Amino acid sequence: MIYLKLFLTAVFWGGTFIAGRSLGGHVDPFSAAFFRFVIASICLVAVTWHREGRLPMPGSRQWLPLVVLGMTGVFSYNVLFFKGLSLIEAGRASVIIANNPVFIALFSAILFREPLRPSKAMGVVLSVFGALVVITRGEFAALLSGGFGWGEIYIFGCVASWVTYSLVGKVVMREIPPLEAVSYASLIGAAALAVPAWMEGMPKALFAYRAVDWLNLAYLGVCGTVLGFVWYYQGIRKIGAIRASQFINFVPVSAIVLAFLLLGEPVTPSLVAGGALVVCGVYLTNRPESSASAAQGADGGKP
């Protein structure tokens, strides 16, 4: 059952790109991010309360790191996520964001002196090269002629936001259980999103939202955030972080397939080739040192 949950988590996370792309042009970025995390916060607090009997209050010195988590993993990541998906295809965005674990491994080596084995270094190179193949559609001269635009830049901003969130989370989650930390990050991020969403015209616009918009927002909040998070960390507890993290490789694959089936996005040779390189790179950066190793630290690649 845990393997099924981890596989479904990858499918759910792949589906967030479809939902985000579907919201483009109908729900403004700040408003989409705000409603996603209002829904997610309600569910996360409910799950935490059910497990703990309360929502434990962080210590005074823990609030600042939690604010950083909320402003990076929730506020900036999601605004950039929705802005990017309003401009580029879901499949392309998913392959770029699939680099999250790769850059987390790279900056963990730089900042925390974690070992960067040759296979990890090769994974970094493969993954970045794969992302460039997707961005340029296989025509690298486009990098010099400005053949990529704001959509790709926004999605790369998502990667930067999530890497920051994950590296700060390494420190925060030594003292605060992951579910509690994410619950507070979600609440803080939702509160921070309320003002720009209001200024964006959310109070008037919400009456014009379609039923499918609310379904997409509910999917993002419940399946893409709450179930994905809970099931992923169940997997870490039951089979270990290394084996659980391998399921991240399915995220861009599921996003590309779902984008083809649901949005009619083309599956181009450059998208397939770049996606394959990124998946190989993510595998190499997360591969255990040996078959006997069972390190328990993990960094997520959640969208």
Cβ-contact 37, 193 below 8 angstroms: yes
For residue 93, how many C-alpha atoms fall within 13 Å in the half-sphere facing its CB? 35
pLDDT at position 297, please? 41
Determine the pLDDT at residue 142: 61
- pLDDT attached to residue 298: 43
The gap between the terminal CA atoms of the chain, to the nearest Å, is 23
What's the pLDDT score for residue 296? Answer: 39
Q: What whole-number distance in Å separates Cα of residue 275 and Cα of residue 269?
A: 10
Q: Which residues of the chain have pLDDT under 50?
A: 291-298
Per-residue HEC secondary structure of the chain comes to CHHHHHHHHHHHHHHHHHHHHHHCCCCCHHHHHHHHHHHHHHHHHHHHHHHHCCCCCCCHHHHHHHHHHHHHHHHHHHHHHHHHHCCCCHHHHHHHHCCHHHHHHHHHHHHHCCCCCHHHHHHHHHHHHHHHHHHHCCCHHHHCCCCCCHHHHHHHHHHHHHHHHHHHHHHHCCCCCHHHHHHHHHHHHHHHHHHHHHHCCHHHHHHHCCHHHHHHHHHHHHHHHHHHHHHHHHHHHHHCHHHHHHHHHHHHHHHHHHHHHHHCCCCCHHHHHHHHHHHHHHHHHHCCCCCCCCCCCCCCCCC
Q: How far is CA 236 from the centre of its chain?
A: 17
Structure tokens at 175: 């003292």
Name the pTM for this structure: 0.86
pLDDT for 127 = 87
